[in-house]
Amino acid sequence: MSVTDVMPTSVETKKRFDIAILFAVCGILFSLLIFLFMFKQERDVAIQEFNVKTAQDSALFQQQLTQSLYSLDSLQAYFYSVDSASAENFSAAAKRIASRNKAINSVIWLPNAMDVNKDAAITVSLGKEDILKTEPQLQSALNEIAKSVSSPSSSLAVLVDQKPYAFVSSKDGLSPEGRLVVLIDLESIIQSSLLNILVSEIAIDLSVDSNTTLFSIEKNDLANDAIVFHEIDLLPDTALKLQFIATEAYLSEKMSYTSALFLLTGLLLSFLIASYLRRIGQHLNSLKSEHAELTERITETSSNDPLTGLVNRLHFDEALAIECGRAVRDFSPLTMILIRIDDFNPYSERYGIEAADDLLLQVSGALKSCVGRPGDMIAHLDHNLFGFILPSTNELVVQLAKRCCSTIRELDLPNESLKGEGKVAISVGVATLQPSSLLTAERLFEVANDQLQTAINEGGDRYVAFAENSVEPSVTYSV
- Whole-number pLDDT of residue 3: 41
Across the chain, mean pLDDT equals 77
C-alpha span between 51 and 177 (Å, rounded): 47
- Whole-number pLDDT of residue 291: 80
Strand-strand pairing, 426-433 and 462-467: parallel
Span 378-398, average pLDDT: 87
Does the pLDDT value for residue 115 go beyond 50? no
Nearest CA among 124, 66, 122 for reference residue 95 = 124
C-alpha span between 406 and 389 (Å, rounded): 20
C-alpha span between 96 and 117 (Å, rounded): 26
- Sign for the CA dihedral angle at 63, 68, 72, 77 comes to positive
C-alpha span between 245 and 201 (Å, rounded): 9
pLDDT in tens, 127-152: 656 677 777 777 777 777 666 655 55
* 8 A C-beta contact, residue 158 and residue 138: yes
Spell 2-38 as b/e; 16+ CB within 10 A means b: eeeeeeeeeeeeeeeeeeeeeeeeeeeeebeebbeeb
- Whole-number pLDDT of residue 2: 42
- Read off the pLDDT band of 175 (50, 70, 90): low
- Whole-number pLDDT of residue 199: 66
Other C-beta atoms closer than 10 Å to the C-beta of 65 total 21
450 or 264, which is more confident? Answer: 450
Does the pLDDT value for residue 313 go beyond 80? yes
Q: Could you report how far apart the first and last alpha carbons of the chain are, in Å?
A: 109
- Whole-number pLDDT of residue 416: 80
- Helix%, strand%, coil% for the chain, nearest 5: 50, 20, 25
- Whole-number pLDDT of residue 407: 92
24 or 326, which is more confident? Answer: 326
Q: Element (H or E) spanning 177, and its range?
A: none
- Which residues, listed in sequence order, are joined to residue 163 by a DSSP beta bridge? 160
Say how many CA atoms lie within 13 Å of 435 toward its Cβ. Answer: 17
Question: What is the phi/psi pair of residue 150, to 5°?
Answer: -85, -10
- Which residues, listed in sequence order, are joined to residue 467 by a DSSP beta bridge? 432
* 8 A C-beta contact, residue 26 and residue 235: no
- Whole-number pLDDT of residue 475: 46
- Whole-number pLDDT of residue 15: 43
Span 431-449, average pLDDT: 92
Q: Angle, nearest 10°, between helix axes 353-370 and 3-81?
A: 110
pLDDT in tens, 314-354: 889 999 999 999 999 989 999 999 999 998 988 888 888 89
- Whole-number pLDDT of residue 20: 46
- Whole-number pLDDT of residue 405: 93
C-alpha span between 236 and 217 (Å, rounded): 26
Rg over CA atoms, the chain: 32
- Whole-number pLDDT of residue 364: 92
Span 405-416, average pLDDT: 89
Lowest mean pLDDT among 278-282, 390-394, 456-460, 465-469: 278-282
CA 403, chain centre distance (Å): 33
Span 442-470, average pLDDT: 90
- Which residues, listed in sequence order, are joined to residue 433 by a DSSP beta bridge? 334
C-alpha span between 430 and 464 (Å, rounded): 6
Does the pLDDT value for residue 43 go beyond 90? no
- What pTM was estimated for this model as a whole? 0.45
3-class DSSP state for residue 434? coil
Q: Which domains does the chain have, with CATH numbers?
A: 1-298 (no CATH), 313-467 (3.30.70.270)
- Read off the pLDDT band of 285 (50, 70, 90): confident
Span 270-287, average pLDDT: 61
3-class DSSP state for residue 178? strand
CA 127, chain centre distance (Å): 27
- Whole-number pLDDT of residue 176: 53
% of the chain residues with pLDDT over 70: 73
273 or 266, which is more confident? Answer: 266
- Read off the pLDDT band of 452 (50, 70, 90): very high
Nearest CA among 167, 205, 169, 156 for reference residue 58 = 205
- Read off the pLDDT band of 119 (50, 70, 90): low
- Whole-number pLDDT of residue 144: 73
Q: Angle, nearest 10°, between helix axes 186-193 and 3-81?
A: 140
- Whole-number pLDDT of residue 6: 42
- Whole-number pLDDT of residue 11: 45
Nearest CA among 218, 177, 192, 191 for reference residue 85 = 177
